Amino acid sequence: MRKAIILAALLMTYFVVPASAYAESGFKDVPVTYWAYHDIQKLADHGLIKISEEDSFYPDQQITRAEVSVFIARLLELDFSVIPKNHVYSDVPPDFWAYDEIYAVNSLKLFSNHAEKTFKPYELVTRSQAVEILDQIFLLPDTETNIFFRDVPESHQSYDTIQRFAGNGIVYGYPDESFHPDDPITRAQFAAMLSRLWNHTKKARKIPILLYHHILQEGENDSFLKTGSVVSLEDFEKQMKYLYQNGYQTISQNELHAFLKGEMELPHKSILITFDDGLKSNAHYAYSILKKYKFTALEFMITGRIQDETEAFDPYKLQFLSHKEMESIKDVFEYGSHTHGLHRLKGKKGYMLIKSQDQVKADILSSYRFLHQPVSFSYPFGQYKPDHIDLLKEIGFKMAFTIEKGYAEQQENPYALPRFSITSRTPYEDFLQYVNYYKYY
């Protein structure tokens, strides 16, 4: 995998100017003896915070909702052109300096909004509010801690979040064992939290898994392109380019399995790209794009449909990979099973639900042996019975994938892994939400 891209690749905020302008000399109002000097300087060294014309950082200045909105919008690299502006705040007119950022961040529901359609952009953000907002972005794990704040009782609405931040070493509170949850947070305090979150961004807490099927160029068989299992070549290229330019790294099925078992740490922005069915368009179109961006993918094969001979690509036919094509693209694609001959429907039920357990076992075992004991299995149409999980374990599969939306996380059932299906009907803003590291639900 490519070298992990640290948070500096993401954090282009409203505070940003080139680091060279001030990293060596620092800020005149942040001396070495200042309590947050090292945190502030670390962000400055990476060009993440801005020096004023007076060479100052104003560490004790408090932060507003508008400023935090700009920070988050740039941190998540939200595309303003595709973010729907569903609400109109009377105090955020179109010419407001942070108009786009406020509406973009509002769509993520990170802020609690005020009544009467006002955002109150200059309202100060409290320490507990800052923790709640950052918790939604960084998704810290629950960790036991002996740190407790005397002014944050269990009944406090932010108790769990503050304790999670304390357990992960992000907040420490004041010397008198208080946290001051309702005090406005300062620039220095916010910078300190962000600096301490730095290491957590190098490690993935959950993995987005993308699901593709068929790829066609715009104008090729338009009627087929509009179905629920096809994505245009142009959209696929745009999506892969976004992943590449924003530091994403594809992982293998073995790496995902090790991550799920807690045996391996993966970099932030790790992602698994999967394809179901083993269609010829994956070799004809997807292969070159994935290779261009140094990505890999996992292809789930219907082994009974693998072709003995390689035929010319025809966008008006549903064609499947040949043995020769599978071999020629294995530098990018690895393979999993999508059954041998059970990828069929009778009404709305797949054959895995209709056939007997012995028939299902015989079919999957045939596919398993054909593919030389693959690690992963994909349920046709996402349909399966609880008994099928036991069957997959018995055969030797380590993971199985569904079509339910969600992320792959540690401690989850590795035989019911969710994926985000990408088709021609998937809005680009949905794709951005799937792959970015803020909560989908």
CATH number for 428: 3.20.20.370
How much is the pLDDT for 317?
92
411 is a domain residue = yes
Report which residue type is found at 152: V
Shared domain check, 160 and 239: no
Q: With contact defined as beta carbons under 8 Å apart, do 134 and 189 qualify?
A: no
pLDDT per position as a tens digit, 246-287? 778 999 999 999 999 999 989 878 999 999 999 999 999 999
Shared domain check, 214 and 160: no
Shared domain check, 119 and 139: yes
Quote the number of domains for the chain: 2
Structural domain containing residue 420? 206-435
Shared domain check, 224 and 139: no
Rg over CA atoms, the chain? 25
**What percentage of the chain reaches a pLDDT higher than 90?**
57
368 is a domain residue = yes
> Looking at per-residue confidence, does 120 or 55 come out higher?
120
Mean pLDDT estimate for the chain: 86
Three-state SS sequence of the chain: CCCCCCHHHCCCCCCCCCHHHCCCCCCCCCCCCCCCHHHHHHHHHCCCCCCCCCCCCCCCCECEHHHHHHHHHHHCCCCCCCCCCCCCCCCCCCCCCCHHHHHHHHCCCCCCCCCCCCCCCCCECEHHHHHHHHHHHHCCCCCCCCCCCCCCCCCCCCHHHHHHHHHCCCCCCCCCCCCCCCCECEHHHHHHHHHHHCHHHHCCCEECEEEECEEECCCCCHHHHCCCCEEEHHHHHHHHHHHHHCCCEECCHHHHHHHHCCCCCCCCCEEEEEEEECEHHHHHHHHHHHHHCCCCEEEEECHHHCECCCCCCCCCCCCECEHHHHHHCCCCEEEEECCCCCCCEECCEEHHHHCCHHHHHHHHHHHHHHCCCCCEEECHHHCCCHHHHHHHHHHCCCEEECCCCCCEECCCCCCCECCEECCCCCCHHHHHHHHCCCCCC
Shared domain check, 339 and 194: no
pLDDT per position as a tens digit, 115-139? 668 899 999 999 999 999 998 887 7
1 is a domain residue = no
Shared domain check, 325 and 251: yes
Query: 322 phi and psi, to 5 degrees?
Result: -95, 165
How much is the pLDDT for 372?
96
Burial 141-156 (b: 16+ CB within 10 A, else e): eeeeeeeebeebeeeb
Shared domain check, 283 and 351: yes
Name which of 302, 377, 272, 291 is nearest 329 in CA terms: 291
Q: Residue 415 and residue 266: Cα distance in Å, rounded?
A: 20
124 is a domain residue = yes
Residue 167, pLDDT above cutoff 80: yes
Residue 397, pLDDT above cutoff 90: yes
Residue 160, pLDDT above cutoff 90: yes
Among 161, 186, 201, give the residue marking a domain's end: 201
Among 183, 201, 219, give the residue marking a domain's end: 201
Burial 228-260 (b: 16+ CB within 10 A, else e): ebbbbbebbbebbebbbeebbbbbebebbbbbb
How much is the pLDDT for 165?
93
Looking only at Cα atoms, what is the longest distance across the chain?
A: 77
How much is the pLDDT for 50?
59
251 is a domain residue = yes
Shared domain check, 186 and 159: yes
Query: 366 phi and psi, to 5 degrees?
Result: -60, -45
Going by pLDDT thresholds of 50, 70 and 90, the confidence category of residue 203 is: confident
Q: Average the pLDDT over 28-40 and give the result.
A: 88
Among 201, 225, 241, give the residue marking a domain's end: 201
How much is the pLDDT for 6?
29
Shared domain check, 321 and 193: no
Residue 13, pLDDT above cutoff 90: no
How much is the pLDDT for 267?
84
How much is the pLDDT for 209?
98
Residue 5, pLDDT above cutoff 50: no
241 is a domain residue = yes
441 is a domain residue = no
Residue 26, pLDDT above cutoff 50: yes
Shared domain check, 149 and 266: no
Residue 217, pLDDT above cutoff 90: yes
How much is the pLDDT for 82?
59
How much is the pLDDT for 439?
36
Q: What are the Cα distances from residue 296, in Å, to 1, 208, 240, 339, 405? A: 9, 14, 11, 22, 21
CA dihedral (363, 367, 373, 374) positive or negative: negative
Shared domain check, 177 and 39: yes
Neighbours of 8 (CB within 10 A): 16
Tokens representing residue 41 in the block: 């300087």
135 is a domain residue = yes
Angle value at C-alpha 298, between 292 and 299, nearest 5 degrees: 105
Q: Residue 85 and residue 100: Cα distance in Å, rounded?
A: 9
Shared domain check, 299 and 251: yes
Residue 216, pLDDT above cutoff 90: yes
Residue 4, pLDDT above cutoff 70: no
Query: 279 phi and psi, to 5 degrees?
Result: -80, 150
CA atoms within 13 A on the CB side of 36: 24
Q: With contact defined as beta carbons under 8 Å apart, do 276 and 288 qualify?
A: no
How much is the pLDDT for 246?
77
How much is the pLDDT for 109?
78
pLDDT per position as a tens digit, 312-325? 999 999 999 999 99
How much is the pLDDT for 25?
40
